[in-house]
Chain A
Amino acid sequence: MNDEPMEKISKEQVRHVALLSRIEMSDEEVEVFQSQLENILEYMDKLDELDTSDVEPMSSVMGLNNVFREDEVKASVPTEVALANAPEKAGDSFKVPTVVE
């Protein structure tokens, strides 16, 4: 009657989420995170007790929509300041590993 695995999140899913999150993860870490996330997600099942079919989701506590301002030219961060924290730079640019061969 139920083909789905009992678990909320499989090790495979943990690996996939780690990839989406751009975090490298060892097999041991996958193991630990899987069991911790499983535990947390099981707790979150609590929300299923509530019927929310007629409830609007809430995203802003202030009921704000867009906040507009005039499109004016203003001073921005100078190049040398923007580059000051760069792990690697080349001239006026941020330097990264080769992306295109």
Chain B
Amino acid sequence: MNLEDFTATELAEKIRHKEVSAAEAVGGSLEQIRKHDDQLNAFLNVCEDATENATRIDERLAAGEDVGPLAGVPIALKDNMCVQGTPTTCASKILEHWMSPYDAHVTDLLEKAGAVIVGKTNMDEYAMGSSTENSGLALTRNPWNTEHAPGGSSGGSAAAVASGMVPLALGSDTGGSIRQPAAFCGVTGSKPTYGRVSRFGLVAFGSSLDQIGPLSRDVRDNALLLQVISGHDTRDSTSANLDVPDYLASLDGSIDGLKIGIPKEYFVEGMSPDVAAATEAAIETLRSLGAETREISMPHTQYAVAVYYIIATAEASSNLSRYDGVHYGFRSQNAEDMIEMYTKSRQEAFGDEVKRRIMLGTFALSAETYEAYYLKAAKVRKLMRQDFDHAFEEVDCILSPTAPSPAFKIGELVDDPLEMYLSDILTLSLNLAGLPGISVPCGFSARGLPLGLQIMGKPWDEATVLRAAHAFQENTDFLKRPTMPWPQAASL
């Protein structure tokens, strides 16, 4: 068995019992990256001090110290989270040479838990996109078929886990950016409740929506990593001051009698038949385990794309005003005066999707259109949250496909922004409502691409979501690995 075949839980256990050293585990991960990342481009940066950090863990282990639940486990971070002294680019030319002056809260927590950060992963620029094709720095490919996109915006993190380069990664999810790439790459990805994980040191995109979460192969690893990164942090004023449940303990419960709602509105027109069939089969599996499933209605689901792309772009237009070329980041050398320095810096370095969203958000917030767009969207958002509140009076969790189709081809949707936005329809509502959810592998398309099942939960109830997902995973066999390397990639 190779090191890359172990889950993080297994690897941590072996490191704790000194069957494998942290240096070997991290060395194995770096070797996988060297072997495969030329073709995948999942990583933007590999951390040069990873081996050194692993050796330090080994020394502490040898000295009998408590090294934490993730001691020696390699992990990748989406490149919008700060690791002091290393670049954090957000896959943008604006921040291409920006060095993080401090650690994100999640970075602090990972280091305390003994995890070793091996690199930073590619993403859509500023997390704006659903395919990672909007990266200003690299084109990431799906490890299951390199002609296909890995999904996005956390596409690099999903591809890195799927290909065995790392057992764990962090992503961020503003409208599905963890769950959708997890589905497209055949891994497990969860978005915790808004406020569960501190966003200190996460580069902001849509501040009322953004949440950091774990990507892993299986649900147990997901729970393990979520446990480490959750909890209150005074440096993020939206971080919740609540106790964090024991997520690993929650996995062991039965789902006998669990009430699962199936919202009919999530089975959208144009959904791939493979997705529909895999979801039907998943519902049957959960029923066979004792869960009670019932059809529910969430009538405002159809407005999710319109609401999201007003709220998220409005917030982005404000958050991204900080990239003005004054204090840090790219500055145009072609400017004659101050205003030109702003307009040319932003013109030359932002990609088209980022410009489009800043423009859309600025328009939605401007005096003449504020009521018609921003305020209207904020009201409909309330109705969408009420859909969830009503549903949760009847059921314990809600189930749907993660995406209406398997991974699309690179280039397939890139020229049609609205079509690309519509591909997010099944994941956006959860962010607008601020609730927790997960995507777990639930099958394959006829062409062999992975499919994802989404389970959504009540506020702060990640435990039930994880328990249902774990029960599903324990009783199915969809945790496969893609065949590597990829001969077809040579001609691309």
Contact = CB atoms under 8 A, between A and B. Distances in A.
Contact of B238 (A17, A40, A64, A98): A64
Nearest to A40: B418
B382 A58 contact: yes
B338 interface: yes
B335 interface: yes
A22 B362 CA distance: 10
Contacts of B328: 85-87
A40 B179 CA distance: 24
A84 B99 contact: yes
Contact of B358 (A13, A23, A85): A23
B379 interface: yes
Contact of B380 (A14, A19, A39, A50): A50
B405 to A, nearest CB: 19
Contacts of A85: 98-99, 101, 327-329
Dominant SS at the A interface? Answer: loop
B330 to A, nearest CB: 7
A56 B379 contact: yes
B194 A24 contact: no
Dominant SS at the B interface? Answer: helix
A69 B239 CA distance: 13
A13 B208 CA distance: 27
Interface residues of A, number: 49
B379 A17 contact: no
Contact of A21 (B208, B317, B341): B317
Nearest to A25: B347
A54 to B, nearest CB: 9
Most B Cβ at <10 Å: residue of A14, A43, A47: A47
B303 interface: yes
Contacts of B102: 77
A1 interface: no
Contacts of A33: 355-356, 359
A59 B363 contact: no
Contacts of A59: 208, 378
Nearest to A60: B208
A13 B378 CA distance: 23
A96 B208 contact: no
B236 to A, nearest CB: 9
Contacts of A13: 363
Contacts of B126: none
A24 B362 contact: no
21 contacts: A17-B359, A22-B324, A24-B340, A25-B347, A39-B417, A40-B417, A43-B306, A44-B306, A47-B306, A47-B376, A50-B380, A59-B208, A59-B378, A61-B208, A61-B385, A61-B433, A61-B434, A67-B238, A77-B102, A85-B99, A87-B328
Interface of B: 98-99, 101-102, 194-195, 208, 234, 237-238, 240, 300, 302-303, 305-307, 309-310, 317, 321, 324-331, 335-344, 346-347, 350, 355-356, 358-360, 362-363, 366, 373, 375-383, 385, 417-418, 421, 432-434
Task: Report the 5 A-B pairs with minimum CB-CB distance, sorted nearest first.
Answer: A61-B434, A57-B378, A85-B328, A87-B331, A24-B347
